[in-house]
Amino acid sequence: MGNMRETDKKKIAILGSTGSIGTQTLEVVRANGDLEVVALAAGSNVELMEKQIREFGPKLAGMWTEEAAKELKARIRDLEVKVVWGMEGLLEIAVFPEAEVLVTAIVGMIGIRPTIAAIEAGKDIALANKETLVCAGHIIMPLAARCGVSILPVDSEHSAIFQSLNGEPKERIEKILLTASGGPFRGRTRAELAGMRVEDALKHPNWAMGQKITIDSSTLVNKGLEVMEAKWLFDVDLDQIQVVVHPQSIIHSAVQYVDGAIIAQLGTPDMKLPIQYALYYPDRRPMDGKRVDFFELARITFEKPDMDTFVGLQLAYRAARTGGSMPTVFNAANEKAVGLFLHREISYLQITEYIEACMDAHKTIADPTVEQILEAEQEAYENISGFRQ
Ligand code: NAD
Ligand code: MG
């Protein structure tokens, strides 16, 4: 690999390069000699963006605000890197001609428009940004098929399902066993949940992730989003997706086939494996890291999810069954409520109370356009502002 020509390298762009998935994607790039980073986007961390630009040499870089973009530009005056900002910047990065693959490691449904633009421009998508698929899966999956691009899952459970499927046609799937750690509050009662603080919810037992997804893991909203993500990625019915709580996070998910065989992917919890698998699919590359030692594993256990306590998962199923614009309302209300909780403006249980209230208030639109999805998002935000007055 040492003297590989530039043109042989797979060229990638990353939305959300300074986050948990973004930085781990760059670790995968660092560990392999044949990936080239051509464009990067991030929210506000100018300092880390500068470091990433100096190490990985992209030609295009974006920040969310104009102010952050100006600061970045000043810091990298000595380099020939184009700096962009805002949604226009995200869209420019998404369609950057040199990139073959776009890693969507941005958080939230803000990823919808850039993801659609990248697909239309013929980019394969290494998808971590599940909120986009939850809200716009009905637009994205058919569009990807029409444009002949692959949507490669980065989410660990979906990567495990993808690895377990390994090309089998969907007709052979009996069900998908979507595993869940259960989060930091597994086994707690609703009365106990009522008093949970930000720092309690941020203590995930097995994974170090961005703040939003860590809160979502504690409410099981994350698992609800993943049920919808799996439905779109693998084109199965909701009834074919079974959530299995497995606190040790060793079995990352499994597929049960029509003959009863269950094929699973196991490993220690490390997002670099699904990231690398998505970037090299269908190849499987060597990777360093801790291996599962069956003799060290005292035991692995399974439980049913407690949907009466963790109503977030129940609400997700309701949103998924209703379909149309309802998953957007579920997701948008959650994004807003989690932000408020992280700023200590609402209590823990208010997160799911707000989601439910927004869903109750919403009149579902079947098959919404991107415009209508963004309107449903706005409606949820306004409703939440209303509840707080
Ligand atoms: P994070 O908060 O650590 O990082 C998010 C990244 O997006 C940061 O680089 C941030 O700067 C950037 N960003 C946020 N808003 C932006 C904006 N408006 N414009 C440009 N950039 C913006 O989040 P994360 O944990 O890496 O999660 C990213 C996505 O991956 C989420 O959708 C999450 O659900 C999914 N995911 C994450 C993990 C994980 O292990 N972290 C696992 C599975 C799926
Ligand atoms: Mg996951």
- Digits of tens for pLDDT over the chain (389 positions)? 445 565 689 999 999 999 999 999 999 999 999 999 999 999 999 999 999 999 999 999 999 999 999 999 999 999 999 999 999 999 999 999 999 999 999 999 999 999 999 999 999 999 999 999 999 999 999 999 999 999 999 999 999 999 999 999 999 999 999 999 999 999 999 999 999 999 999 998 888 899 999 999 999 999 999 999 999 999 999 999 999 999 999 999 999 999 999 999 999 999 999 999 999 999 999 999 999 999 988 889 999 999 999 999 999 999 999 999 999 999 999 999 999 999 999 999 999 999 999 999 999 999 999 999 999 999 999 999 999 88
CA distance 310 to 161: 24
For the chain, the 3-state helix, strand and coil shares in percent, each to the nearest 5, are 50, 15, 35
The answer to whether 38 and 11 are in contact (CB under 8 A) is yes
Pocket test for ligand 1, best of 20, 46, 204 (most atoms within 8 A of CB): 20
Is 21 a pocket residue for ligand 1 (Cβ < 6 Å)? yes
The answer to whether 301 and 245 are in contact (CB under 8 A) is no
CA distance 237 to 257: 14
Q: Which residue's CA is the closest to the ligand 1 atom numbered 4?
A: 19
Pocket test for ligand 1, best of 64, 66, 107, 154 (most atoms within 8 A of CB): 107
CA distance 157 to 48: 29
CA distance 159 to 23: 18
CA distance 119 to 256: 30
Q: Considering only CA atoms, which of 322, 319, 318, 343 is closest in space to residue 332?
A: 319
Query: What residues have a C-beta under 5 A from ligand 2, the ion?
Result: 155-157
Is 107 a pocket residue for ligand 1 (Cβ < 6 Å)? yes
Does pTM top 0.95 for this prediction?
yes
In the numeric block, which tokens belong to residue 296? Answer: 């060290």
Question: What pLDDT score does 71 carry?
Answer: 98
Is 346 a pocket residue for ligand 1 (Cβ < 6 Å)? no
Is 131 a pocket residue for ligand 1 (Cβ < 6 Å)? yes
Neighbouring CB atoms inside 10 A of 74's CB total: 11
Is 89 a pocket residue for ligand 1 (Cβ < 6 Å)? no
Q: Would you give the DSSP letter of residue 135?
A: H
Residues 6+ apart with CB under 8 A from 154: 21, 103, 105, 126, 127, 128, 271, 274, 275, 278
Q: Which residue's CA is the closest to the ligand 1 atom numbered 15?
A: 43
Question: What pLDDT score does 8 carry?
Answer: 84
Q: Which atom of ligand 1 is nearest to the CA of 45?
A: 11
Left (φ > 0), alpha (ψ -120 to 50) or beta: where does 276 sit?
alpha
Residues 6+ apart with CB under 8 A from 310: 185, 219, 220
